Structure 1
Amino acid sequence: MATTSQTQELTIDQARIKKAIISGVPLTITTYTLPHEIELYIEQVLEAFLKELGQQHLKDYLAYCIRELAVNAKKANTKRVYFMERGLDITIPQEYKEGITSFKEDTFNNIGHYLQLQKEKGLYIKILFQVKGHTIILEVRNNVVITKTELIRIHDKLARSRQYHTLEEALTQVLDDSEGAGLGLVILILMLKKIGLDEDCFDIIPGETETIARISIPMDKTRVENLSILSKAIVDQITALPQFPENIVAIQKLINDPRSEMADIARHISMDPAMTADLLKVVNSAQFMLSKKVDSISEAVKLVGIRGIKNLLYSYGTQKILGEDTSDKKALWEHSYKTAYYAYNLAKNFRKDKNLLDDVYVGGILHDMGKIIFSTVHPDLLQKIRSFFAEKGIPAATFEDLAAGMNHAEIGAMIAEKWNFPDNLITAIRLHHEPNQAPPEFKDLVETVYLANMLCEYENGNITFDQLEKSVLTSFGIGNEKQIELLLQRFSESFKRETQNH
C-alpha cells in the first residue's frame, strides 16, 4: 500500500482498503526508519481497516500492539547495523554479550547515524493488514533473522506475562525487575486479553530471511454467521436461476455416457447455432494455436476433446443464464475472460498438464460467478431480503458487505453446487482468493486461477507486488516484480491480439 523510503504525502485510500478486504489480499506499509508521521499513518490505516470490518472497538488495543511490535522490529534492525559496524557476530553468544552492554547508550546518543545505516542496508519494517477467511491477520515483519538468544528472551517474557492479570500487577513486578525492557510485550498480551484473546493469538515466527510477529483475531462470530445466512438466503431466493438449459443437459448426459460417439456429440451441438458459433470461436482462438481455421463442428469436437467440450458447456450455460445485459455484468465478464486467458497461459507455460489447461480456462471464466449472480438479483428481491434481515436485527452494513462482493466466492460456489458442477470447479470458485486453503488434488487449479485473477488486478493498479501470495509465486518460480511485469507484458499483448481477431 505504501513504501516510505522518502517523504511523501500519505493519504488513506478507503476504496483500496475495501477492495483488499473483499479480495483477501494484504495491505502493506513499508518503512526503513519508522518516523512519527509513519506511526500516525499506520494507526489511521488500521482504523480505516477495522471500520470497514465493523471492528472499530479494537482500534486502541491493536494500535498499541502494532506500535510496540514495530518499535521492537526497528530496534532489532538497529542492533544488526550496530553489531556490523563494531565487527561483532550477533549469533555468537560471547560477542552478543559484549555488544549488547554498550548498544543502548551508543545508539541512543547517535540514533540518526544508525537509522541511516539501516536504510542503506535496506533493513525494513513492514506492517501488514489482511483478512483471511474469517480471521483478521496483523503482522509486523523485518528482514533480519532473529537469533536463538533473542527468541528465548521473547518466549520467556511471554511465559511470564501469563502470571499477570492486570496492568498494575505487571507494572509493579516488571519495573522492579532489572529487565524492565520486557514490559512492552507483557502489556501487549494484557491488551489482547482485554479484547478476549489469549496469548495463542500472538506468535513470533522466525523465517529464513524475515522475522514475523503475527496477531490473529477471529472476527466477530455474529458478523460471520450473518454473512453466511445472507449468502444462503440469496442463493435460496434466486428461484429465477433455473437449472441448465435442456440442450446443454442433454449434451452433458451424452458426454458422460461411455457408449457415446464423437459424432453424436457433434450432431447435438450443431442443433444449437449459437453454441456451434461459440465452440468454433474458442477452437479458432489463440488458445488452441491451430495452423488453419476450423469450420466443421465434428473436427472441432475432435480437437477440443471430451473434457474441453464439458468445460465449454459449463461456461456457455452459465453465461446463457446470467446474461450480459448491464454494463456491470459486461465488465465482470470481460474481467473473467481475461482471467481465463491468463490462467490458461500460466498453466501452459508453468504446469505442462493438458487436463489442467481446460480446467483453469473455465475456472477463470467462472471464478467471479458470485458477483455476477448478485448483480442479477432483481431489485424487488433485494428489497425483500433487506427487509427480512432488518426484522432479524442484522445490521445494514452486513448487507452492504455482501453487495460490495464480500462472500462472493462462497455465493458462486453455492450456485455451482446447485447446478451440479464438478468438485474441481466448485473449489476453484470458492477458494480463488484463498489458494492456501486448497486441497492437494486441486492445488494447481486453484493457485493458477488465483494468480491469473491477481495479475489482472495488478495490471489495473488495484494491488501491489507485495500483496501477492508468496507461496503461490514460489510454486510458479516467480521471485521478483520484474518477472511479473515481463509475464504480464507477454500475456497482455497476446490477449489484445486475441480479442482484436474476434
Structure 2
Amino acid sequence: MAAAQELVVDESKIKKAVQSGIPLTITTYTLPHEIEMYIEQVLEVFLKNVGQEKLKDYIVYCVQELAVNAKKANTKRVYFMERGLDLGNPDDYKTGMANFKEDTLNNIAHYLQMQKEKGLYIKLILQIKKNIIHIEVRNNVAVTKTELIRIHDKLARSRQYNNLEDALSQVLDDTEGAGLGLVILVLMLKKIGLDEDCFDILATEKETVARIIIPLDQTRVENLSILASTIVENVNSLPQFPENILLVQKLINDPKSEMTDIARQISMDPALTADLLKIVNSAQYMLAKKVDSISEAVKMVGIRGIKNLLYSYGTQKVLGDDTAEKKSLWEHSYRTAFYAFNLVKNFRKDNNLLDDVYVGGILHDMGKIVFSNVHPDLLEKIKQFCVEKNLPASTFEDLAAGMNHAEIGALIAEKWNFPENLVAAIRYHHDPTAAPAEIKDLVDTVYLANMFCEYEKGNVYFDQFEPSVLENFHITSKKQIDSLLERFSTGFKKESSH
C-alpha cells in the first residue's frame, strides 16, 4: 500500500487482503502525524473486516506505541553514528545515552532526515493466517544484545502488573522513555484477553520485530470451520474425477505397471490423448521435436510428469471453465504455473520440482474455483445450511469471496486422494512459513509465482513479499522481480498465443 504518497484508505484492497490472506504493509521513514492517522484508519477497516472492531482503540494504541519505539530506535542509530559511537560498546552506550534524549528532541528534524537518507524504515504488516491476526512493527536495525536484555526485562516486569496503578507505584527505568509505554501496552493486551504469548519482540540480523498475534473471534472461527467442513462433506455433489483418469492413475500407482501399459490406457481415450499431447508439446516441456504419440510422450515427460498432468487436467474437467469468472481463475492458475516452472528453471534446476510446481501452480486456487458458480446446487446447500444454523450471511460471503480458500482447496484435494505434496502446495500457498521443511521449495515456489501474478496486477507491492521466500530465491530487490516478471510475462504471452 502506497501510504506515504496517497494517504487514502483503499477499503476494497484491505478487504481483498483479508479474504486472500495477503499481507498489508505500510512503510514510513519518519512517522509523521498524517501517517499515524492513516495507520489508525487502516487498522479500523482491517479489524472491521475480521469482525474485531471492538479491539480498535486497544490495537491502535499498541501499534502506535510500537511504531514510536521503532522510530526512537532508528533515531538512536543515526545519533550514535554521527558521534562515532559504538552501540555495542558499554562505555560508548553510556556516553551516547547521557544526552540522547535532549539532543534529539532539540534537533529532531535533522535526525529524521538522516534516518530517511540511511533508509531506516518503520514498517507495519497486517495479515490473517490460519484464523489468527498477525500484526508486526519492524524497523531495519539489529537490536544489540544489551538492548534486547533491557527490552525483555521491561516485558517481564510489565507482565507482573495487573493494572496501571500497580505499575506506577513501582520504580520504572525511564532512561529511554519506553518503560511506561510498554507496561501500558501489555496491560492493554491483557484487558482484551490476550496472554503473554501473544506479544513479543524478536531480533534478526537485519531487523527488530515487535509482534502481536490475536486469534479471531471464536464464534467467527467456529462458523467458518463449520461451513468449510460442510462444503467438504458435500463435495460428493461435485462430479468425481473422470473414470478414464482414475484408471490411468491406478496403473501409475501400481509398481508392476509398465510404461507401455500406461500409454495404452491413455491412448484408449482420444480426447485425453489429444489434450495431453497438446500440453506435452507446449513451451512448458521445451522438447526438441514435436511428439505425436502418447507412448513417446510418456517416455519424454516421465511417469511423474504424466501423473501431475492428469491431476491438473482432471481438476479442470471436473470444475469446468464455462464462465468468464472461471476462465479468469484458470488463466491466473496457468500463469502462476508458468511462472512457478520458470522460477525453478532459473533458480533450482530440479526436474522433479519442475513437474510438481507446475501442477501446484495450476491447482493452488482450487478452493476459489469451487465457489465460482460451478455447482449452484452445492452453493444453495451451503446457503440453506447458514439459514438453518442461523449463521450470519457475512460468514458465507467471506468464504465465497476467498477466505479459507486454501484450506477448502486442500481438503477437497485430500478427498480426491491427491498426493501430499500437492495438497500442501494448495494449503500453504499464502502461508509458506507454516509449510513442512521437506516441501519448502515446492510451497515457496508456488507462493512466489502467485505473488508475482498479484504484483503484476498491482494488488501487492514489493514489501508485501515474505522475506524468507525471497531469501530462498536470492532475490534482494524490486528491480530483480521486475526483470524476472518482464521475461516470464513475455514467455507466457508467447505460449498462450500458440
Task: Say whether residues 1:279 and 2:276 are aligned partners.
Answer: yes
Q: Provide the aligned length of Structure 1 versus Structure 2.
A: 498
Two-structure CA RMSD over aligned residues (Å): 1.9
Aligned partners of 2:173 and 2:179 also within 8 Å: no
Question: Offset of 1:166 from its aligned partner?
Answer: 1.4
Please give the secondary structure, in 1, of the residue aligned with 2:372.
Answer: helix
How far did residue 377 of structure 1 move?
A: 5.0
Q: Matches of 1:77 and 1:366 in 2, distance apart?
A: 43
- CA deviation string 1:429-483 (max 9, x = no partner): 1111111122122222111111111111111111111111111111111111111
Q: Distance in 2 between matches of 1:180 and 1:308?
A: 61
Match for residue 194 of structure 1 among 178, 191, 194: 191
- The answer for the alignment partner of 1:152 in structure 2 is 149
CA distance in 2: counterparts of 1:215 and 1:415, whole angstroms = 32
3-state SS of paired residue (1:226): helix
Residue 263 of structure 1, CA deviation: 2.8
Per the alignment, residue 316 of structure 1 pairs with 313
> Does the 8 Å contact 1:174/1:182 carry over to 2?
no
- Distance in 1 (CA, whole Å) between partners of 2:171 and 2:398 is 44
Give the deviation of 1:168 after TM superposition: 2.8
Which secondary structure does the structure 1 equivalent of 2:288 belong to? coil
Q: Which runs of 4+ in 1 moved over 4 A?
A: 174-181
What is the distance in 2 between the residues matched to 1:127 and 1:253?
50
Note if 1:21 corresponds to 2:18.
Answer: yes
Match of 1:103 in 2: 100
Does the 8 A contact of 2:248 with 2:266 survive in 1? yes
Deviation at 1:383, TM superposition (A): 3.7
Q: Partners of 1:344 and 1:177 in 2: how far apart?
A: 54
Corresponding residue of 2:484: 487
Q: TM-score, normalised by structure 1?
A: 0.95
Equivalents in 2 of 1:496, 1:159: separation in Å? 57
Q: Are residues 1:2 and 2:2 paired?
A: yes
Cα offset for 1:381?
4.1
- Whether the aligned pair in 1 keeps the contact of 2:24 and 2:125 (CA below 8 Å) is yes
Matches within 5 A, 1:160-175: 160-173=157-170
**Mean CA deviation greater in 448-457 or 263-272:** 263-272
Give the whole-Å Cα distance in 1 for the aligned partners of 2:302 and 2:197.
51
Question: Shift in Å at residue 388 of structure 1?
Answer: 2.3
Distance (Å, rounded) in 1 between the aligned partners of 2:222 and 2:57: 26
User: Do 2:319 and 2:374's aligned partners in 1 also have CA atoms closer than 8 Å?
Assistant: no
Question: Match of 1:333, as an amino acid?
Answer: W
Give 1:174 shift: 5.1
Partner Cα distance (1:152, 1:38) in 2: 30
Is residue 124–residue 142 contact of structure 1 (8 Å, CA) maintained in 2? yes
Identify if the C-alpha distance between structure 1 residues 272 and 141 changes in structure 2 by more than 3 Å, giving closer, same or farther.
same
Q: Is the 8 A contact 1:30 1:126 kept in 2?
A: yes
Q: How far apart, CA to CA, are the structure 1 residues paired with 2:300 and 2:173?
A: 79
Aligned residue among 37, 55, 59 for 1:62: 59
Farther off after superposition, 136-145 or 218-227? 218-227
CA distance in structure 2 between the partners assigned to 1:195 and 1:482 by the alignment: 42
Counterparts in 2 of 1:378 and 1:451: CA distance versus 1, 3 Å:
same
Q: Distance in 2 between matches of 1:350 and 1:212?
A: 29
The Cα shift of 1:69 comes to 0.8
Percent of matched pairs sharing the same residue: 74
**Structure 2 partner of 1:330:** 327
Matches within 5 A, 1:35-434: 35-173=32-170, 181-376=178-373, 378-379=375-376, 381-434=378-431
Return the letter of the residue paired with 1:412: G
Distance 1:176 1:282 in 2: 67
Pair 1:302–1:395, CA change in 2 (3 A): same
Measured after TM superposition, the shift of residue 178 of structure 1 is: 8.2
Question: Which range moves more in the overlay, 216-225 or 55-64?
Answer: 216-225
User: C-alpha separation between the residues in 2 aligned to 1:384 and 1:250?
Assistant: 31
1:453 and 2:443 are equivalent in the alignment? no
**Take 2:480 and 2:201, find their aligned partners in 1: how far apart are those partners?**
31
Tell me, in whole angstroms, the C-alpha distance in 1 between the residues paired with 2:437 and 2:31: 40
Report the Cα distance in structure 1 between the residues aligned to 2:88 and 2:44, rounded to whole angstroms.
Answer: 38
Deviation at 1:348, TM superposition (A): 2.0
1:64-122, CA deviations, whole angstroms, 9 ceiling, x for partnerless residues?
01111111111111122222222222221112111212111122122112211221222
Contact 1:270 1:276 in 2 (8 A): yes
Instruction: Show the counterpart of 1:463.
Output: 460
Tell me which residue corresponds to 1:500.
Answer: 497
What is the DSSP-based 3-state SS (H/G/I as helix, E as strand, rest coil) of the residue aligned with 1:239? helix
Secondary structure in 1 aligned to 2:43? Answer: helix
- Distance in 1 (CA, whole Å) between partners of 2:494 and 2:480 is 22
Structure 2 gaps of 5+ residues are: none
- Higher mean Cα deviation, 151-160 or 47-56? 151-160
Q: Identify the range of structure 1 (402-411 vs 343-352) with the bigger mean alpha-carbon deviation.
A: 343-352
In 1: Cα distance, 2:384 partner to 2:289 partner: 57
For 1:177 and 1:73, the matched residues in 2 are separated by 16
Whole-angstrom distance in 2 between the partners of 1:103 and 1:304:
66
Kept in 2, the 8 Å contact 1:189–1:198? The answer is no
Alpha-carbon distance between aligned partners in 2 of 1:176 and 1:257, rounded to the nearest angstrom: 70
